[in-house]
A = this chain, B = another copy of it.
Amino acid sequence: MKIYFAASIRGGRDDVDVYRQLIDHLNLNNQVLTEHIGDYSLSVAGQNQLDDDYICNRDMSWLAECDLVVAETSNPSLGVGYELASAERLHKPVIILHNAKRSQLSAMIAGTQYFDHIFNYSNIAEAFQILDRELPSI
């Protein structure tokens, strides 16, 4: 399965270690198209070498190509909000992982009926369990 993993880049990289572990776990039996999101060397300003138009077109192509979107939403991010709305528009299945200890999920996401696979987790083992349980049904 081709997976579009969505998480914060310019919104903040505090959780990059979590992103890396989630991507590695998903990659065991799937192909994560957006592997760069787990790259430790990618800082808040890390994609500056690439043009915004290029990044946006590349990511929207991957979104159109994917079978599933997995979004980590604990760090607020304009891009992830935009990607979630785009996933809804493209009728892509969406799994949202949210660490409620880190932040409260936006009402615009939590209140949108399309997003009916929102899971709170508190540690990485729990996140893996959620993914292992949910992915086979996609």
Chain A residues with CB under 8 Å of chain B are 8-12, 44-45, 47, 50-57, 59, 73, 75-86, 89, 103-113
Additional A-B contact list (12), CB under 8 Å, known A12-B76, A81-B81: A8-B76, A10-B105, A10-B106, A44-B104, A53-B113, A54-B111, A56-B108, A77-B77, A78-B109, A79-B108, A79-B109, A81-B82
User: Which one of A44, A50, A53, A82 has the greatest number of beta carbons of chain B within 10 Å?
Assistant: A82
- The CA-CA distance from A45 to B106 in the complex, in Å, is 10
Also in contact, A84 and B89, with CB within 8 A (given A11-B106, A104-B44) = no
What are 18 inter-chain pairs, A to B, with CB distance below 8 A? Answer: A10-B105, A10-B106, A50-B107, A51-B111, A52-B107, A52-B110, A55-B108, A56-B107, A57-B111, A59-B108, A77-B106, A79-B81, A79-B109, A81-B83, A82-B109, A82-B112, A85-B86, A89-B89
